[in-house]
Structure 1
């Protein structure tokens, strides 16, 4: 390997699944089979896992997977999460283990939205699903025992791009007030013009080719890189005026990730717009390194994420 990966992460690479979204049907089948076992083995001690169905923006039902701490005292703060998967893969199963941990450690009501996937449902379907789910939670906060003024957003990869777009959408549509946007390895810029996007063509899990296919599926063939792409679809395109008044941000990027520099650029843009922002670059890491849960750098990143969320949610 030509990249200086963290030794613990490098040792796990041989057992890590390849992600090839050029054959999307096969990728979805393989991921679903892998995640089924992960969910079955998950430790749900101290957490009640549920399913909340709400009317979706397309007339169909939108599913929200919920995590409630057994000993939680209401009204509970809310962590609203959006899974990764390049806009084309995934379900709430992707971050199931992590959401169980967040629920226990934060004693918060955690929600993972099962948003529609591209290319069958291109932008803005996924973002509108995320907005619809968030709005439903706020509307039913009294019934569910939630604190609608203590909400944080968290996303990974494409989910972090959705979280960034949702933070802007919530501001533009008059609320709810978001306490924190936590963006992990965010996919933010369809142009793929940063140094890291150009350099990392051979990195594990995710690379420039995969990122290009992902944006083509989400925005439409021939659309990425064009002048008409909406800032809510690709928040990396937002101007300083677009970013003013957004909630505080906690941005984490991986050293050997094509998405690294767009995350750094976004954090700098937020700071320039007066948004309180923390930025962390994790050394020796690659996109999706969080799956190696025993690695010290991954555990450190998780502990930091919990600490930041705890402060934001008043826990």
Structure 2
């Protein structure tokens, strides 16, 4: 079934990705309406055991208190031989605020547990529309607080906690980072935002360019934001923690990595967010991958552009984790005069 495209002409998909895209058509949330959310939720996703494969990595579940005391499940992923405190990676899964679970995108966590001896925590936040804003971002913040408070027993260096999320998880990661800044909560060492969902207003050029095409289009995006915010979507009654693109002050954030496809709805809001961090004097690295659709690097990991994107993301994380922790500079005592 074809759908009219009434927005401005979109840029083309990268040829290798364009050839792969039809494979995803049966389960790509395009033109998704509220009555289709359950259909997409029911689609199978990779198991944690399958993502671990034969690697010596363990996944242990905990039940923790979420927003307003609700029970949340989080999973801790680490090497079986992990002993020395190492970096912590706090993961928030994607799914348009309405789909998927904490194991979506966990393949990266297994890889980073092996490569960096990181301890990765992924949170099962409650999803919209059953649990509207502020529940999802507050659940995510509660999980981050738990991780930081239990850093010792999890063998995490509390000064090296990086937050990571893709799509809706990228937006929730950005919102959780703002909450941590404004509440003087856990201090984050970095934030890694993959094709983040940041702006409920949907007024950018890219938000109009992708209608009925790609992996996540304009209508699906409006459906996701409406599920989260209801009638508040697009009004002045939306907090910066729900829609971080609304933040006027992005100072005081940790080093940030943002990547996004040039051929997706979230392109312009991701670029604007990086620009706002730079304007506030912050540290941000931005990659816009030409011709790439939403979620390309995970959906088509063997494509040449996906390999480049995944390598760039991991290289940034490796550089970040190799940084020396900043220590207060001690003043030398003044020499006595003659």
- Per the TM alignment, residue 39 of structure 1 is displaced from its structure 2 partner at its CA by 4.1
| 1:45-56 correspondence runs (5 A) | 45-56=55-66
Task: Name the SS of the counterpart of 1:111 in structure 2.
Answer: strand
State how far apart, in whole Å, the 1-side matches of 2:182 and 2:54 are. 37
State how far apart, in whole Å, the 2-side matches of 1:309 and 1:294 are. 21
Gaps of 5+ in 1: none
1:13 maps to 2:21 = yes
| RMSD (Å) for aligned C-alpha atoms | 1.7
1:213 maps to 2:223 = yes
Contact 1:65 1:112 survives alignment (8 Å): yes
The partner residue of 1:160 within 156, 165, 170 is 170
State how far apart, in whole Å, the 2-side matches of 1:98 and 1:245 are. 27
The partner residue of 1:249 within 239, 256, 261 is 256
Contact 1:152 1:313 survives alignment (8 Å): no
- Per the TM alignment, residue 72 of structure 1 is displaced from its structure 2 partner at its CA by 3.3
- Per the TM alignment, residue 3 of structure 1 is displaced from its structure 2 partner at its CA by 5.1
The partner residue of 2:270 within 263, 268, 279 is 263
- Per the TM alignment, residue 65 of structure 1 is displaced from its structure 2 partner at its CA by 1.5
TM-score normalised over the length of structure 1: 0.93
- Per the TM alignment, residue 98 of structure 1 is displaced from its structure 2 partner at its CA by 2.3
- Per the TM alignment, residue 296 of structure 1 is displaced from its structure 2 partner at its CA by 1.5
User: Residues 139-170 of structure 1: CA distance to partner in whole angstroms, max 9, x if unpaired?
Assistant: 11111111111110111011100111111111
| 1:35-74 correspondence runs (5 A) | 35-36=45-46, 38-42=47-51, 43-74=53-84
2:7 corresponding residue in structure 1: none
Q: 1:41 to 1:139 in 2, by over 3 A?
A: closer
Q: How many residues align?
A: 308
Contact 1:203 1:256 survives alignment (8 Å): no
1:92 maps to 2:102 = yes
1:24 maps to 2:34 = no
1:308 corresponding residue in structure 2: 316
Gaps of 5+ in 2: 3-9, 324-338
Contact 2:198 2:244 survives alignment (8 Å): yes
2:232 corresponding residue in structure 1: 223
1:233 corresponding residue in structure 2: 242
2:119 corresponding residue in structure 1: 109
State how far apart, in whole Å, the 1-side matches of 2:16 and 2:115 are. 25
1:280 maps to 2:287 = yes
1:197 corresponding residue in structure 2: 207
Contact 1:65 1:111 survives alignment (8 Å): yes
User: Residues 49-84 of structure 1: CA distance to partner in whole angstroms, max 9, x if unpaired?
Assistant: 111221222333211111112343421210111111
Moved more, 40-49 or 206-215: 40-49
| 1:131-170 correspondence runs (5 A) | 131-170=141-180
- Per the TM alignment, residue 201 of structure 1 is displaced from its structure 2 partner at its CA by 1.1
Task: Name the SS of the counterpart of 1:256 in structure 2.
Answer: coil
- Per the TM alignment, residue 101 of structure 1 is displaced from its structure 2 partner at its CA by 1.5
